Each structure stands twice: as structure tokens, then as C-alpha cells.
Amino acid sequence: MTALVSKIRLSVNARVLLGFGVMVALTALVPVLSTLQGASVNTVLHAVSGSQGAGLDSSFVAQARQEVASNRLTGLALSAAGAAVALLAASLTAMGLFRSIRRLSDAVACLRAGDPSCPIPGVEERGALGDLARELAALQQEMARLIRQDQLMEILPTPVMVCEPDYTVSYLNDATRAVISRMDHPLARDPQAIIGVNPLSFHKDPAKIRAALADHGDLPYRVRFGMGGVTIAGEMRTVRDRKGALTGTVLSWKDITEDVARIAAFESSIKAAVDQIGQAAAEMDASAQAMAEQAERAQGEAATVAEAAEETAVNVETVAGASEQLSHSVTEIGHQVQETARISALAVEQTSQTDQRVRGLAEAAQRIGDVVTLISTIASQTNLLALNATIEAARAGERGKGFAVVAGEVKALATQTAKATEEIAAQVAAIQNETQEAVSAIQGIGSTIARLDDITAGIAGAITQQNAATHEIARAIDHAAQGTGLMSANIQGVSDNTRQTQAVARLVQEAAASVALQARTLDQRATDFLARLVV
């Protein structure tokens, strides 16, 4: 651009000098012509004068002098006219150049005022002025681009500052002013006061930062510092020309105050969570150890219960056998009682028939009454024994064997009853002649036999109930045997589950150890991550 301006100046100066040179040349030519004309006239006059001496006419000489004087006046007039024309041409040329230069000067002033929309005259002209106009048009476009970039820089949400080569601030955008205004710092009242200030003075070691900026390999240089209660993450980059000379520094800030607070809270929560995980792992390990110990004790107790269940099963089988024998005995007694009832019914029928025949057996009937009394006593005792047998059967268990004793006594009483019956038969034969007296006795015997039949029926009912109870006992014992077998199977399952519990407890202990290790690893990695998160 400077070369072009110099070229323009040379062109203008050349044109001006050319015009003035022509004018000066013409002006200088006038006296020369006058001198030459005068010299010619004088030469002619001298020649005429010499000729006059040689005999020429004096009138001819006078006429020659008059023509010479007239030619002198004509030459002077022509010289003056040429000088005027040259002066006019030079003036017109200078005025045109000055008007073009004035228009370009106005355009430059408009651009300097910051208006990239002003028109540039003479862009289509040729020559140096046209080149100058086109260069100004290119400069206008570049200026518009720079203005747009400046506006974009101003509204950029990232805080940005531009520093001179001596690191003093020459520009800051609105985002930077907003960050400074949030600081508890004197600059917060007037953020624009940072213009001309070296921002490296905000750091603890500015020499270190200068050394880093001087080394291209360390760029961009990142730094973190606190200022006025605000934590800043900064990044510095140098701007250099094509020769590598430092022309400025660009400094970008990021307000990480809230990020630092959130990271601190996150770090605290992570450490608290890691501590809780560690405590939970320790508690889990302790619980697993306690569970393993309890499982071991449970396995020992299960073995003991299994042995007891096996013994119970043996005892239940024994009781079941005894109960089955008791059931058979009761069934047999029932059959015998039924037979007795049948015989009693037959005796009633026979007594009824005998009553018609032995009405005269009164005396023998008395003795038969005694025998019948004995039979009644035996029957009463049989009833008591049957009742005892019922009670013994209800109790069952290992004492069910007592029922067999009762059954034996019942048989003994039955034998006595048979003997008494034989005695009755003898007495009846003895008192056949006493039939009439025996009528009342026979009637009493009939009543007694009927009563005995009722008692026998009662005994039969009791025996039936006893048989049902015995079967119920047998079923209960069978259920008990099944329950004992099921209990044995369950105990075996408990033992298996206990062994599985011990294995699970070992796995839980291993998992607790792994969780504790992972918690420590998580704590270390979280610390490393948070250390690298914000620079």
C-alpha cells in the first residue's frame, strides 16, 4: 500500500512538473526568441549599414528596419500566447489530479471513521489512481471482515482477552467483563480498568508462564488460579507473524467456580459412598463368617436330629407291630363276645322253653340263683376288665402289652363261667323233679340271661369301639412312621442345605473381600479422575 501511494505521488508530481516545465520552457523561450530576433535584426541592420556605405539606397535601409521591428513585435506576441496556453494546460491537469486525490482522501477518512460502507471512487480508472482506488476497495472489504470478527468476539460467550507483546491487556469482551464483575476484587467495580494491566501478575509465578509462552512446544499453556473468590481455568496462546516474532497473546478464561464446588461435593459423596461400601463389605464378611459358623453348628445338630429320627423310626415300627397285634387281639375278643351274645340269645330262648317245664324247681332255682349271682359277679368283673382293656388300648404306646394281660384274665373268667354253668347243669338235673319250685328260679334265670345278653351287647359295642380306636391308633402310628420318614428326609435336606450354606458363606466372604478391593480401587480412581478433571 505504501509503495502504491509512493507511485501515485510520483505520477502526480510528474504530471504537475511536466505542466509547469512546459510553462517555464515557454516563458524562457520568449526572451530567447526576442534575443535571437534582436540579434538577427541587428545583424541585418549592420549588414544594411555596411551596404549603405557600399552605395545602397537609404530608403531601403529604413524599410528594412521597419520590417524588423514589426517581426519583433509579432514574435513577442506569439511567445506570450504560448506561455498562456502552457499555463492553462498545467492548471487544468493539476486541478483534475487534485479533485481525484480529494475524493480518495475523503474515502480514506470515511474508512478511518469506521464506516466500511462508504463508496470508493475511481475503481474503474486506469493508472496509479485506479490502482489506489482498487487497493482501498480491498482494504474496505478487509475492514468489514475485521469489524464482523470484532463483533463476534464481543458477543462470544467465552471470556477472551487480547494482550500486546509486553503481555498488557489491550482488549476484553463482554464475557470477560462479566467474570471480572463477579469477583470480590477492586477490578469488579470497573472491569475495563484491566486495559493496560499485565494479567500474569494475577498468578503466583509469572516468570514460569513467560518461559512457557516463549516455548512453542508447551502451547497452549493452561493454568488454574483463584481471584476474588472466583476460580478461573485459563488458556494462553501466542500470536506470531510470519517471521515468528511475537505480536500478541490471546488469553481465554473459564469460570469453574461452580464446577469446583460440584466436583468437591462429588468427591465428598464418592468418598462417603466408598466408605459405606467398605463398611458394608466388612459387615458382609462378618455376617458370612457368622453364617458359616451357624451352618456348621446346624449341620452338627442336624446329624444329631437324624440319629434321633432314625431311633424314633425304629420305635414307631415297634409300636406299629404291637398295635397291629393289639388290633388282632381286640378283633378276636369281639368275635368271642359276639359268639357269647349269640349263645346268650340261645340261652334266653332255651330258658323260656325250660320255664314252661321246670316251674316246680323252686329249691333248685334258689341254688341256681346263687350260681347265677356268681356268673353275674364274673360278668361284672369281665365288664371291668373290658373297661380296663379299653383304657389300656387308649393309652397304647409301649404299654399296649398290658392289654394282652387283661385279655388273659378275661379268658380265665370265661373258664370260671363255664364251670359255674356246668354246676348249674348238674343242679338242674338234680332238681328235675323239683320243676314246679324251679319255675320262679327259671324266670329269674331268664331275666338274668336277658340282662347278661344286654351286658354282652354292651361289651360287644365297647369292643367295636375299642377295635375302631385300635385301628385309629394303627393309622396314627402309620402316619407317625411316615412323618418320621419325612422328618429323616427333611433332616437330610437340612444337612444338604447347611453344606450349601457353608459354600455360599465362603463365596460371600470372597465377594466381600473383592468388594473391599474394588472400593479401594474406586476411591483411588475417583481421586485420580477428579485431579485431572479441571486444570
Q: Which residue has the higher pLDDT, 10 or 378?
A: 378
C-alpha cell read off for 159: 471470556
Please give the pLDDT value at position 126.
Answer: 78
Q: What percent of the chain has pLDDT over 70?
A: 40
Spatial contact of 167 and 251, defined as CB atoms under 8 Å apart: no
| DSSP labels, 161-177 | EEE-TTS-EEEE-HHHH
Determine the Cα–Cα distance for residues 138 and 22; give it in Å rounded to an integer. Answer: 37
- Give the model's pLDDT for residue 200: 74
Burial of residue 186 (CB within 10 Å: 0-12, 13-18, 19+) is: exposed
Q: Is the model more confident about 129 or about 400?
A: 129
Q: What are 138-143's contacts with CB under 8 Å, separation 24+?
A: 139/1, 139/111, 140/111, 140/116, 141/116, 143/111, 143/116
**pLDDT the model gives residue 302:** 65
Of residues 89 and 280, the one with the higher pLDDT is: 280
pLDDT at 417 over 50: yes
| Residues 108 and 206 occupy one common structural domain | no
First-to-last CA distance in the chain?
Answer: 45
Q: What would the mean pLDDT of 473-478 be, rounded to a whole number?
A: 69
Q: Do residues 114 and 196 share a domain?
A: no
> What is the grid cell recorded at 240?
506470531
Range of the domain at 75: 2-138
In a domain, 209, yes or no: yes
**Residue 430 pLDDT class (50, 70, 90 cuts):** low
Note whether 322 and 425 are same-domain residues: yes
pLDDT at 253: 84
Question: Within a domain: residue 267?
Answer: no
For residue 165, the model assigns a pLDDT of: 83
Q: Are strands 221-227 and 230-240 parallel, antiparallel or unpaired?
A: antiparallel
Based on the fold, state whether residues 243 and 276 are members of the same structural domain.
no
- Residue bearing cell 453348628: 297
Which of 138, 169, 193 marks a domain boundary?
A: 138
Q: Would residue 535 count as lying in a domain?
A: no
**Are 161 and 106 in the same domain?**
no
Number of structural domains the chain divides into = 3
Buried b (16+ CB within 10 A) or exposed e, 432-445: eebbebbbbbbbbb
pLDDT at 365 over 70: no
DSSP state of 219: P
Write the DSSP assignment of 16-58 as a string of letters: HHHHHHHHHHHHHHHHHHHHHHHHHHHHHHHHHHHHHHTT--H
Q: What per-residue confidence (pLDDT) applies to 225?
A: 79
CATH of the domain at 338: 1.10.287
Same-domain status, 239 and 194: yes
Rounded CA gap, 217 and 222, in Å? 13
pLDDT interval class at 28 (50, 70, 90):
very low
304 and 246 belong to one structural domain: no
pLDDT at 38: 47
C-alpha distance from residue 378 to each of 143, 151, 413, 423 (Å): 146, 135, 6, 15
List, for residues 44-70, the tens digit of each pLDDT value: 444 444 444 444 455 544 655 565 556
Rounded Cα distance, 323 and 473, in Å? 7
State whether 444 and 295 are in the same domain.
yes
Instruction: Name the strands in the sheet holding 230-240, side by side, starting at the edge strand that comes first in the sequence.
Output: 169-172, 160-163, 246-255, 230-240, 221-227
Dihedral angle sign, alpha carbons of residues 479, 480, 486, 489: negative
Over the chain, what is the mean pLDDT?
Answer: 67
**Residue 227 three-state SS:** strand
- Write out pLDDT tens, residues 279-298: 776 776 777 677 667 767 76
Q: Which of 235, 269, 81 is nearest to 160 (CA)?
A: 235
413 and 462 fall within a common domain: yes
Residue 245 has pLDDT above 80, yes or no: yes
For residues 147, 150, 151 and 152, what is the CA-based torsion angle, rounded to 10 degrees?
120
Picking from 206, 222, 255, the residue at the C-terminal end of a domain is 255
pLDDT digits (tens, 9 = 90+) for 171-215: 888 888 888 888 888 877 888 888 888 877 777 777 777 776 666
Give yes or no: residues 104 and 249 share one domain: no
Domain boundary among 255, 285, 311: 255
